[in-house]
Amino acid sequence: MNLRVSGSRLVAADGTPVRLRGVGLGGWMNMENFITGYPANESSMRDAVRDVLGDERAEAFFDRLITSFFGPGDAALLAEMGMNCVRIPVNYRHFESDERPMEIIDSGFRHLDRVIGLLGEHGIYSVIDLHALPGSQNQHWHSDNPTHVASFWRHRHFQDRVVHLWEVMADRYKDNPWVAGYNPVNEPGDVSGRVIGPFYDRLVKALRAVDPGHVLFLDGNTYSTDFSIFREVYENTVFVCHDYALAGFAHGGPYPGYTRGEWVDRGHLERAFEKRTAFQRETGTPLWVGEFGPVYTGDPAVDEMRYQILSDQLEIFDGHEAGWSLWTYKDVGLQGLVHADPAGPYMSRFGDFIAKKKRLGADRWGSTMEESGDILTPLHQLVETEFPGWTPYPWGARYQTDDLIRHILIAQALLPEYASLFGGLEDGEVTALADSFALDGCVRRERLIELLTANLT
């Protein structure tokens, strides 16, 4: 019997309340640049690596990486910590190709099935999160978008494909009790705000026709912040907020203290949370934070402030009985509970390149927005002076300029250099790169693991 929504809570078949708390499995079936160390977006990176390794060797590398990235030991670690949920981001490209739309790639499910099974063996629920949709549902790299245009909302064709894919997914998992539910659109960015509401109506109806039992986890518009687009409170549905703390970003200031002119302390965190969950509290639906979590710098004093941010957020969530999914489980060192060993094969080969990306601020997630300031500051000043009324969606001119220059232009210019580092490697060396992300090749961020475990147990 599946979990279901009962008032403001999720409950098991016997009516026992279940508060889902765990991690997001970012960088796995939806890869992200700051998580595994490449530049730009996933499909562009895969193309660049394929040009160097060839089709077969590239496919073997990526399959091995996905296999190594999450295995039995990872599921056991999360269970030992007391977690009962993993949000699993996936890219549509595993299940359907742009060259053959509407034709499902059944083999694309093998890793998803494997990990859902591993988690279920440890009593851990999975939330399947479609993180990258055809045409891109938002303006950034994490929807595998090589541009700044979310074309998903402009073309009915892309929407038709997503409805079809979710019908297939729902049919596949409708009888699986360890699938907590479906998170069908991660962080949508519909500029007009007019397409998303009717699309959700259509998608919910299609999903319910196939699988009336599983919970739906629906993100608000503008990166899960705007819930005014919902015209009704769907049955058996959780409306998902994301709650990143301003002072927890790479450009965050001291905590408590000022970040970009705004004072951030525990009170600020609680007010932000209450604002972001106003819709859920007004409608009496469950509170679940689909993503949150600070980034870490390597500076012990700064990172201790980041742990305090996290600790305060967890206390706030506890006070509101909110479930949560921390971003993210595993990476190359920015946020993960565990990260690739700096002395291991992957970081030994790509460490200098990752440092170059950091120096250039090429990754949106991890940039302080100050890198190469001598070059970019005049550009920001030009835009501010000449176009003072320009406020592009979603976050305004300052972020848009950085996105276009750093996170698209510079990031894409870095792709050949990243791919070239695969050149000249024997098959065993390529395998060793992938295996660097296996748990026994990773370093644990013990302070973070201890903090989370104390909250969960």
Write out the catalytic residue numbers: 187, 291
Long-range contacts of the stretch 408-413 (C-beta < 8 A, 24+): 408/40, 408/146, 408/147, 408/148, 410/360, 410/361, 410/362, 411/33, 411/39, 411/40, 411/141, 411/357, 411/362, 411/363, 412/39, 412/40, 412/44, 412/146
Give the β-pairing of 125-132 and 85-91.
Answer: parallel
Cα–Cα dist 184/188, whole Å: 10
Cα–Cα dist 186/202, whole Å: 17
Helix then strand then coil, % of the chain, to nearest 5: 50, 15, 35
CA distances to 33, 66, 110, 331 from 43, rounded to whole Å, are: 11, 15, 20, 19
DSSP state of 152: G
CA distances to 140, 397, 410 from 391, rounded to whole Å, are: 17, 5, 23
* DSSP string across 325-363: EES-SEESSSS-SEEE-TTSHHHHHHHHHHHHHHHHT-S
Report which residue type is found at 243.
D
Q: Are 2 and 177 in contact (CB under 8 A)?
A: yes
Q: Are 128 and 85 in contact (CB under 8 A)?
A: no
Cα–Cα dist 351/442, whole Å: 15
**Phi/psi of residue 275, each to 5°?**
-65, -45
Report which residue type is found at 66.
I
Neighbours of 298 (CB within 10 A): 8
Give the β-pairing of 21-24 and 85-91.
Answer: parallel
Cα–Cα dist 147/394, whole Å: 14
Length of the chain: 457
Cα–Cα dist 40/189, whole Å: 19
Q: Which two tokens stand for residue 392?
A: 């592009």
Which residues lie closer than 8 Å to 98 by C-beta, 6 or more apart?
Answer: 134
